[in-house]
Structure 1
């Protein structure tokens, strides 16, 4: 296992490019004579190599004399090259991992703007233990004034959203243009919760902290907690579903804050006007794949101040300029951030692409986002062609990850533990939720299926634990006091019960049939992201798949793909001309923290790139030869160069797949073939696959294998 944290001048120089297009190491760089064996030797002592002493220790049992049973293979043709298909696969299983945890309870401060929920006196009780305490030979005790043990049941407010009628969440620029009163109340409400005390569970501070830092319970009693991470379920089959009640909690806070402010207006007619507007307050979204606004940051998110209408001391409406609550979040005091790790414990405002003086450069974030627009649209569209919900969720999460990196640029959005403090996080994730709702509408028979669990703050998990639709989505409770589960969020009509919809899954369809909604939403998907498709027939979708075990490199890292051209210095300008896409793994909060072992992958469409350079209609032989010569790959880990030849689990593959499109606006295209993996493009080059099993059964850091995309082994047939 390696860190890729080299800092020599030779490694920071611009690297030459091999004939495969993979960035080669400098001439004075000596690769390991037998990198696979060396990596396996390192894996025998994972505790000392992998876990910094300041983090939660993870103990791996040493693998003794057990051996991997090598698979046998059958050579089968895949279009223009032969690949090997495994006919027998028996692999080592992961030894038991023990994660030491400590007990903690929440300070039971109630919200200043929301009603307090009284737990029922009969089952389900107000508090359910969040997990089972595990033990380890390596343990630590966490002591803090905010981390004390108590048997008291916490006081909490359930997450129910707005309590009036159903209104659609709108694209933020559409909301600003078409409903200025609602937008005005949204700004006032967001300012109010941003200035609410840190102790308020429904303040911007505490709601944002659920995602990561400061790593404390939110409306939960004593339990088994992992203080190295937040509640979020990144890299999990629950990624999309967990964020739905999370967004609902903020929307609930904004809704109640807006009503409190509207009630201050006078006279009665004005009060009624703004109460009606407050009733419509819903969280807006930023559609980063919209063909009209493309991927640019919404202009309102880059304005430091904004003009609003608010009540004066007598309730009369007056115009005022305020700090824009959608531009940045200003922490209330140094004590708010004193519990954060460095350098975040000295940053009193969120920033995007900050310079050395911590000035915001959102314009650079907007430019970085635009550079990947064409591919992002196709990747978004292709997510709707997924034949399982889990693969859809992974595809959307892959797009989502790259946006965090492009928007953050070293600021808060680049780090899992701190990203939710930047207000644009919520607009970004609202769009993820919108895509989830649209997929539920167009594929009503598909939903979360069992998959390997990912540990969170409230749910440390041992190996072989499963996440499924019945897994508790801590820390969010429903109106009856029970924990949210993914099953509570299906079918898509459940969002209307939470009092919101989207233009593509509108509240107005509550009385329509699922089939009618499917037709309507499918039409919207094709119109928005189908790139003008009108001609029926079969075409080929070209992709590059990037994968890595996210535990192999600490901190944050990205694998970038460039085509046609590339930035003169990709380390200084990773989103420059030629950027096609990337696999992004955000830092948990520090450069020395490893993530839980899990294969992460992303499929990046190459069709827009091929079309741009004149290969859109070329035959497969010319395309594969062009891709082999032209595509380049760059790995940046924590701001420094990293190389495929130094990584045990990082791989890339090029594949194509036949897609049939009826040309009808109310029907989505569908796959008519398994993927063709073009190993002639990648074999012989660092990180490139030579055999099919390298991509279908990728190796994890401990030598075991994971199969995260079973749908690629079957063909979907649709009549």
Structure 2
């Protein structure tokens, strides 16, 4: 894409092939079939037709036709090969850890490393229409994260390789939390259940707000998507930190000192699914059913034992645990990724799916950094996030909003989303979310025309004073340091330094990670995208719109991420296959620059590009595992647009847009779902015939001198 495309090339990891970047021809003239946004800003009336919802039933896609992990879309491109990791067989077979601990045998009156035991607070505050205090608050533990000092959250591979003691404590803490009774608010079952099912309150009174028992607390599809997940991650990190400190205290002698220090720096790790080195593959440690760890024996001495890997799957504790999860999850006592009909996990298939979408994913991530508004950034990164859930979930837990957080991979995935959010905040300190239409949640069944803004309550997370978290508590970026964590790209060491210094550092890191193959000479280039959009209320359950190019997939329904896959618009099921989401336009921009470079068209005359992609690009829709047709949908639209971008070539600067999007109607007007007029994309129609507001980028062009 824009220079990003260069980044995309980088993404393909072939710096030598992608080092060459071409600008649009100097004599380029817009073809008569394209329309610029600024020429069509006036809302015009479109002919509408009756809307019919599409029924769909949940099916599990076949999982035995995937290409091998070492195969890439093009034989001319090298591909990262997963390191072989031997499987672990527990040397000491047991279903319950042999050294159970409920109270640390080695008590301490002076908390080591600034650690204090979490307490429970009871609130009797009253509520007014403008207060964030609770009138019916039960006892609660505030969500404050780790309460010692600031440490970086690390990439999962880095943590495993470079800080083995902390990694050991992470596994022990995860195991302990996953085996904590369902009744514990800071056990795995309840923390994961905040996101969706079992649709019950978490540290809130039974009548504190008018609850909606048809969904969870999560704010998917809202401008609060990134900000809500920040305290959510802190809740688990807080539980892990305290569990690790308690476990470390059960060691004796020098080992106790060693593991208390490791527990003190324990923070959630992240999975960087846009890393050009590992190319979106699942971290190998998350694919092993077993793992070896050091545990204290009866004398507190560390011994190596094998355990069920808590990063691979979560095992529910009883039949009553899964009963409220809905079909098919209420029939299985363990989480799974792309399971087959027998509910056998197929993480290898999920990993291969992820690699297929790597080139577009890294470009999409880099493009999110170029957003001229926070709302646009949030939508873009949520679109990338949705694609990860689609590629890793299938008919398993990660593909369903109500059950996704039970899978341990969810937390590594969302930690990376939080990291990307922090990087954007560091590089754009003046941008913050602005009011937008609200999305209903378990604790907020929104009436029509409700608006979310930076002061909307982020239920159910409370602060120390009993007030609820709001998005303002997550801005500016330095607020993460007050919660005692940072990232390698937003390090704790920058606390107290000038925002400009952090901006320069983080921008440098973003370019280093995601923009390899930048043009050797500063100059302009052009970004190409396919925009896919749909009112999420038109199709019940889950759906995916896929884009293919270069080759037609042999089985786009049985193997949707197979050869030719470029990108997709994904939406997880909100619950049952027949359940509809609230009406809202969802969209994603699928980057085309990497695809155009791979097939020799990037930098070509725009006429040649549009002629090629109008014949080559191929689209399919899968709704709840079944084929779905564009002709049967009212709101599904496909648009192709290009946009100019300028790259200074400087490592501490991001490229920036120099034009508004230009839509190429000659590419889409003759295909099902393709736009035939500019209003179809700038003022998209919803299922009730109303229209969405204009796209954020109409006011987001960044002009730099």
Assess same fold via TM > 0.5: yes
**Distance in 2 of aligned mates of 1:464 and 1:718:** 36
Moved more, 317-326 or 707-716: 707-716
**Distance in 2 of aligned mates of 1:88 and 1:573:** 40
Q: 2:670 is paired with a residue of what secondary structure?
A: coil
Aligned counterpart, 2:80: none
Q: Is the 8 A contact 1:649 1:699 kept in 2?
A: yes
Q: Unaligned 5+ residue runs, structure 2?
A: 1-28, 48-101, 105-116
Aligned counterpart, 2:172: 188
Q: 1:229 is paired with a residue of what secondary structure?
A: coil
Q: Is the 8 A contact 2:532 2:589 kept in 1?
A: yes
Distance 1:112 1:659, change over 3 A: farther
Q: Is the 8 A contact 1:610 1:616 kept in 2?
A: yes
Aligned counterpart, 1:503: 488
**Distance in 2 of aligned mates of 1:562 and 1:489:** 38
Residues 1:87 and 2:42 aligned together: yes
**Distance in 2 of aligned mates of 1:112 and 1:623:** 67
Distance 1:522 1:485, change over 3 A: same
Aligned counterpart, 2:533: 547
Distance 1:454 1:264, change over 3 A: same
From 232, 248, 252, give the equivalent of 1:266.
Answer: 252
1:121-172 CA distance string (max 9 Å, x none): 66789x97899xxxxxxxxxxxxxxxxxxx9631110000001110000000
**Distance in 2 of aligned mates of 1:354 and 1:580:** 24
Aligned counterpart, 1:117: 120
**Distance in 1 of aligned mates of 2:550 and 2:313:** 36
Aligned counterpart, 1:12: none
The structure showing larger relative contact order (alpha-carbon pairs under 8 Å, at least 6 residues apart) is: 2
Residues 1:164 and 2:151 aligned together: no
1:180-205 CA distance string (max 9 Å, x none): 00000000000000000000000010
Cα distance, 1:91 vs structure 2: 10
Aligned counterpart, 2:663: 677
TM-score w.r.t. structure 2 length?
Answer: 0.83
Q: Unaligned 5+ residue runs, structure 1?
A: 1-76, 93-110, 132-150
Cα distance, 1:115 vs structure 2: 2.8
Which residues in structure 2 correspond to 1:243-642 (within 5 Å)? 243-267=229-253, 269-535=254-520, 536-642=522-628
Q: 1:271 is paired with a residue of what secondary structure?
A: helix
Cα distance, 1:716 vs structure 2: 2.3
Cα distance, 1:283 vs structure 2: 0.2
Q: 2:611 is paired with a residue of what secondary structure?
A: helix
Cα distance, 1:82 vs structure 2: 4.7
Q: 2:40 is paired with a residue of what secondary structure?
A: strand
Q: Is the 8 A contact 1:80 1:678 kept in 2?
A: no
Cα distance, 1:80 vs structure 2: 4.3
Q: 2:531 is paired with a residue of what secondary structure?
A: strand
Distance 1:312 1:468, change over 3 A: same
Which residues in structure 2 correspond to 1:28-39 (within 5 Å)? none
Distance 1:79 1:160, change over 3 A: farther
1:621-680 CA distance string (max 9 Å, x none): 100000100000000001111111110000010000000000000000000000010001
1:566-607 CA distance string (max 9 Å, x none): 220100000001100000011012110000000000001000
Distance 1:112 1:460, change over 3 A: farther
**Distance in 2 of aligned mates of 1:717 and 1:240:** 26
From 678, 696, 699, give the equivalent of 2:685.
Answer: 699
Q: How many residues align?
A: 604
Q: Is the 8 A contact 2:337 2:350 kept in 1?
A: yes
Distance 1:112 1:285, change over 3 A: farther
Q: Is the 8 A contact 1:354 1:361 kept in 2?
A: yes
Distance 1:248 1:692, change over 3 A: same
**Distance in 2 of aligned mates of 1:566 and 1:459:** 44
1:394-440 CA distance string (max 9 Å, x none): 10000100110100121100000000000000000000000000000
Q: Is the 8 A contact 2:127 2:133 kept in 1?
A: no
Residues 1:218 and 2:170 aligned together: no
Residues 1:658 and 2:644 aligned together: yes
Aligned counterpart, 1:64: none
**Distance in 1 of aligned mates of 2:464 and 2:476:** 19
**Distance in 2 of aligned mates of 1:112 and 1:123:** 36
Which residues in structure 2 correspond to 1:143-154 (within 5 Å)? 153-154=137-138
From 621, 643, 657, give the equivalent of 2:629.
Answer: 643
1:291-318 CA distance string (max 9 Å, x none): 1111000000001010000111221111
Q: 2:604 is paired with a residue of what secondary structure?
A: coil
From 214, 228, 232, give the equivalent of 1:242.
Answer: 228
Distance 1:91 1:641, change over 3 A: closer
**Distance in 2 of aligned mates of 1:519 and 1:633:** 40
Q: 2:524 is paired with a residue of what secondary structure?
A: strand
Cα distance, 1:480 vs structure 2: 1.4
**Distance in 2 of aligned mates of 1:346 and 1:130:** 40
Q: Is the 8 A contact 2:508 2:653 kept in 1?
A: yes
Cα distance, 1:444 vs structure 2: 0.5
